[in-house]
Amino acid sequence: MQTRSRRLGVDQPTTSWGFPNPATPPGSSTYYAIRFADVAQRDALAALCGWRHLVRSVLEQVSDPGVAARKLAWWQGELERIFARQGQHPLAPALSRAMTRADLPRQPFLDILWAVEALLANRQSRDQAEVLARAELDCGSLAELMLHQTPGHVAAQRSAARRAGAYWGLVALIRDSGWLLRRGRLGVLPADALARQGIAQWSPSGPLPGAALASVLAELLPLCHRERERLDPDLASLPSALRIRVRLADTLLAELMASGLAVADQRIALTPLRKLWIAWRESRARVPQPIA
């Protein structure tokens, strides 16, 4: 049995890995994206987001690099167990159902693991092209997996979904860059831009140079705008969960720009009520159309 409460569009079951779950908490962007998806897809979408959430939680929960590497290796092994219907984690049954429902491919899961491993290893992104590639491997892979829950999708939609995820991943990178740098993750930003702004050798033990960080992020804005423009012709072909994430990223990016990209010591976010309004409006704005 499940109990539910409703407030500001919140619909809360008591189950741990159904919708919503720890990866899709009420008030989050992911929550509202899934809240307006087809009812039959919600638990599967939440399970997919749960997978990424758990894998990325290694970044927050483990400070020792060796321990983090072992935990990530465990998750790679757990992925194979889940594909074999022998998963050990409480998420495994829900993710197995999502896999069965849509015959999910392995590669996007492996790409997400690789993106997290690159962060753990602090592997440097040399330039904007590598920053974009990592965003596509991470959020782009998640978006592709989410698209698979929509019956009858085609290859062109998968490409559009990956671009959508890469775009909202870039916006999230800008928002979270201060937090990531304070945890020593200089590799998330392009090395050439860090060098130009004189913070390539910055240490987390010192104060974070907010003005220099804002200048680095300003160099990423044209990339964000270009990727958004590339996505626009195909946006209507995507299911509501992905379109909503893009619209929320649009609004968040505008807020970040209005702040002067002042993210060194704060995390800028949209209010739940604003997210609800954007999600509700986008869920009714378009009927997905095939890509010509």
- Cβ neighbours for 73, distance < 8 A, ≥ 6 positions apart: none
Distance between CA atoms of residues 188 and 173, nearest Å: 8
On whether the CB atoms of residues 125 and 203 are closer than 8 A, the answer is no
10 within a domain of the structure (yes/no):
no
Banded pLDDT at 29 (limits 50, 70, 90): very high
pLDDT in tens, 146-200: 999 998 888 889 999 999 999 999 999 999 999 988 888 888 999 999 999 988 8
Which residue range is the domain that position 124 belongs to? 29-200+208-285
Q: Give the span between the Cα atoms of 148 and 102, in whole angstroms.
A: 6
Alpha-carbon gap, residue 270 to 260, rounded angstroms: 16
Residue 18 falls within a domain, yes or no? no
Q: Is residue 16 assigned to a domain?
A: no
Q: Is 4 within the bounds of a domain?
A: no
Q: What does the block give as tokens for 40? A: 């039959």
Mean pLDDT of 107-133: 93
**Domain for residue 7, yes or no?**
no
* Residue 12: both structure tokens together: 């809360």
- In the chain, the percentage of residues whose pLDDT exceeds 70 is 92
Determine the pLDDT at residue 14: 37
What contacts 29, CB < 8 A, 6 or more positions away? Answer: 244, 245, 248, 252, 270, 275
Is residue 79 domain-resident?
Answer: yes
Q: Is residue 99 part of a domain?
A: yes
Residue 270 falls inside a structural domain: yes
Per-residue pLDDT averaged across 204-208, rounded? 82
Q: What is the pTM of this model?
A: 0.90
Counting the structural domains of the chain, the total is 1
Helices marked H in 136-271: 141-147, 155-182, 191-196, 210-231, 240-258
CATH of the domain at 62: 1.10.600.10
